[in-house]
Chains A and B, each alone.
Chain A
């Protein structure tokens, strides 16, 4: 049916300017739709009565983030506990995981554990879980998705 599941990932953020700076500096995102305040009947039909929210889009070499700072309702952003959340994380292919980690950390993000080697992959097949300043979790991998699947399938002997 031609489903292309790389349209965008939507993240709730607590400070739009900080979030944009983070994604620009950490992963080289570029703003393609500047923050704008949305309110009124249409946005209320999607998110509920009284909703006021600032929205921006930042794009990468592939895929994009839709950043949402809700003014109303303004709930704190819960920690992204991987064993509790339904939507756990999203993943990003990068050329060099340690170099990307350095940029993420310089921009105000942090890693959840030290960089790991993908089980069954060679030493350059690396990944790590990171979080943005709001605690949203994303994964950095040095292998494309098809290559990651090939490593997994080779490991399972399929």
Chain B
């Protein structure tokens, strides 16, 4: 399930700059305009798109700039969208956040500790220049799941504790 995440973007050059400079990605192919063939079935008759891949140490984003139909990209709404965000494991959230912000991202909230516990690894929600939301996290997936179990356990203890 780590093949890629497909993102629609408004300006391919800006997005390539963002994902390569901000998150250290590698552009795998120059954007090429495609249409006809199976694209009519994928995206509707007459659709034309520029596509490219940017890869990371693991995972990738596939960037789509629609030439036709051309619609604005709406900023992601976490309680309104189906596909909410994707997670990125980084060594240092402060450093990664500084880099993505310098490249044009903005944070959706301040850096948090998982479960709100000060001893837990940190994370932050950020959005790309197009408003795609991704999460920078200082733990890998297994480490994050372990933190979730800890949080659930603490919540259960709190619920069981007598008031006061």
Contacts and interface: CB of A to CB of B under 8 A. Distances in A.
A89 B152 CA distance: 29
A50 to B, nearest CB: 11
B119 interface: no
A75 B86 CA distance: 20
Contacts of A51: 79
Contacts of B130: 86
Report, as a range, how many residues of chain A touch the other chain.
35 or more
Report, as a range, how many residues of chain B touch the other chain.
35 or more
Interface of A is mostly: mixed
A10 interface: yes
Interface string B46-76: 0100000101111111101010010101111
A4 B4 contact: no
A135 interface: yes
B79 A11 contact: no
Interface of B: 1-8, 23-25, 28-30, 32, 37-38, 41-44, 47, 53, 55-62, 64, 66, 69, 71, 73-76, 78-91, 95-96, 99, 109, 112, 115-116, 125, 130-135, 137, 140-141, 144-145, 148-149, 152, 155
- Top-6 shortest CB links A-B: A7-B87, A5-B59, A42-B116, A6-B2, A6-B59, A63-B1
Given A9-B85, A83-B43, A88-B64, 18 more contacts: A1-B23, A4-B58, A4-B90, A10-B86, A12-B81, A12-B82, A27-B1, A36-B152, A38-B155, A45-B116, A86-B130, A87-B83, A90-B86, A93-B2, A93-B3, A145-B60, A149-B28, A149-B53
